[in-house]
Amino acid sequence: MNPQSLLLILASTGVVTIVAGFLEERFKHRNLSGYLAFAGTALAFALSFKLEPDTYNLARGAPLPAAELRVDPLSKFLGALFLAVFLAAIAHSFSYMREEGESGYYTLTVLMASGLVGALFSNDLFTFFCFWELASVSGYALVGYRWWYWEPAEAAFKYLLACTVGALTTLYAASLLYGVAGTTNLDALRTALSQVGGSRAFAAVTALLIVGLGTTAAVVPFHTWLPDAHPAAPSPISAVLSGVVVNVPLYMLARLLLTVLPRETGVSYALLALGSLSSIVGNAAALVQLDAKRFLAYSTIANVGYMLVGLGACYRAEAAGAAGVAVDALTGVFVQLVNHAVSKSLLFLCVGNAVRETGSRLFTSLEGYGRRMPATGALSLVALLNLAGIPPAAGYYGKALITAGLAYNLQDPAALAALAALEANFALAAGYYAYFAFRAFRERGRALREAPLSMLAPEAALAAFVAASSVYPSLLVEGVRAGVKALLGSP
């Protein structure tokens, strides 16, 4: 199985949903395009398990220049995971978007999935940019999908402006690398750059890449689009934005910094500083939110911060020659990424259930939804426990591994400060997740109807993944560790 076929399936599903849209109008059938989108994504999800780790060219016959895809164990696992989150979001939309979900909605969602999977598998900076823009353009349109309200229009424009600048900054860095090495292929870049050796010019390229990919991943000074875009989008799209979209640039950043670019001493400090800043600002801003989805959006920023700190810890350990610690830290980053992707999208979908019932995103009107809608409440609790990282939950292991990666050598005051900030943030986050649970289960609020089964079933599937990874955490951690070792090329 090769990734081109996977992308082809997703892209043709997009086309099929457009056709289905015309049929829908003709036959007055509501969700036809949604079911087709689900079927296509499910097929891609099933086939993603059969991908064979190798490099592929996007064109089958004559190889295109600068269009290479690469599947490694880690990206294969992440690809399957992202498609699973998309499946849950599409299934959730059947009921959530019943009134508004025209075929265009599903077309855009499937195109976004294909863009993100393509960006994840791309082994070339320019291929990455093209797939990323495909995903982003669909994302902008989906955030602004309910254009008849003022909020989505404003949020989508802000999202577009920030993320396009971010993507173009990345592309500018790619053009500089092309100037040095004559290629944008990551494997060829690695060989070419190792011959050129380190120079101050690469510090500028690295900085541009951190800024560009950091903007699309919502790292703090560049995060302003995220807390607007997440609440304004329909809930299944918020789930995808938070669970998948911010993770793909992080994965790319990890690959570029750790396997392609020459080492710079300042990078680990920059990553630790930006990561700590993201987690502090994300958590602090989450505390004062009145809007439940905005609250979750800020907590996403904090989680991106944790992952960035882990990345910084990995970079630092590798520079110091502690390969085992570096593997640990990067494993922590990706375990955290997986847990955050699954449980944050689960929580967004659950809050979506309640928002659909109450018609408001404010905490005051959502209060008590956990009691009135017991199934939704129970599923939210699973997500909250995992996000807070209370030990039996798998969320704990990601945070523990990041901490371990940072704590192995505390001679450096910067690492000590980052560690202190990280631990304080974990505690703060656990505190506000507990507060969220408290408000959700408070004996208050008006009677609400439980969400329909078609919304609960995809949430239950995500919750089942959380439960399974919590019962057998070693399976998740060791699986990710094997992928990370393959990525770093360490034994």
For 193-216, give the DSSP string. HHHH---HHHHHHHHHHHHHHHHH
Per the CB < 8 A criterion, the answer to whether 317 and 326 are in contact is yes
Closest contact distance (angstroms) between CB of 186 and other proteins is 15
For 429-455, give the DSSP string. HHHHHHHHHHHHTSS-S---PPPPHHH
HSE (CB half, 13 Å, CA atoms) of 331?
26
Burial of 50 (0-12, 13-18, 19+ CB in 10 A): exposed
Of 9, 16, 74, 156, the residue at the interface with other proteins (CB under 8 A) is 156
Task: Tell me if 63 contacts other proteins by CB under 8 A.
Answer: no
Please, which residue, 252 or 281, has the CB nearer to other proteins? 281
Burial of 220 (0-12, 13-18, 19+ CB in 10 A): buried
x/- mask, other proteins, residues 6-45, rule CB under 8 A, reads ----------------------------------------
Of 4, 5, 164, 454, the residue at the interface with other proteins (CB under 8 A) is 164
190: number of Cβ within 10 Å: 15
Task: Tell me if 323 contacts other proteins by CB under 8 A.
Answer: no
Query: What phi, psi does 199 have (nearest 5°)?
Result: -150, 165
Site for other proteins in 436-475 (CB under 8 A): none
Compute the chain's Rg from CA coordinates: 21
Site for other proteins in 381-400 (CB under 8 A): none
Site for other proteins in 92-131 (CB under 8 A): 126, 129-130
Closest contact distance (angstroms) between CB of 435 and other proteins is 18
Site for other proteins in 183-202 (CB under 8 A): 183-184
Of 157, 259, 390, 414, the residue at the interface with other proteins (CB under 8 A) is 157
Task: Tell me if 424 contacts other proteins by CB under 8 A.
Answer: no
Per the CB < 8 A criterion, the answer to whether 339 and 284 are in contact is no
Identify which range of 141-149, 321-329, 376-384, 433-441 contacts other proteins by CB under 8 A: 141-149
Burial of 338 (0-12, 13-18, 19+ CB in 10 A): buried
Please, which residue, 281 or 379, has the CB nearer to other proteins? 281
Please, which residue, 226 or 455, has the CB nearer to other proteins? 226
Instruction: Quote the tokens at residue 202.
Output: 């690469």
Task: Tell me if 415 contacts other proteins by CB under 8 A.
Answer: no
Site for other proteins in 64-83 (CB under 8 A): 65-66
Q: Which residues bind other proteins (CB under 8 A)?
A: 65-66, 126, 129-130, 133, 136-137, 140-141, 144, 147, 150-151, 153-158, 160-161, 164-165, 168, 171-172, 175-176, 178-179, 182-184, 227-228, 232, 285, 288-289, 294
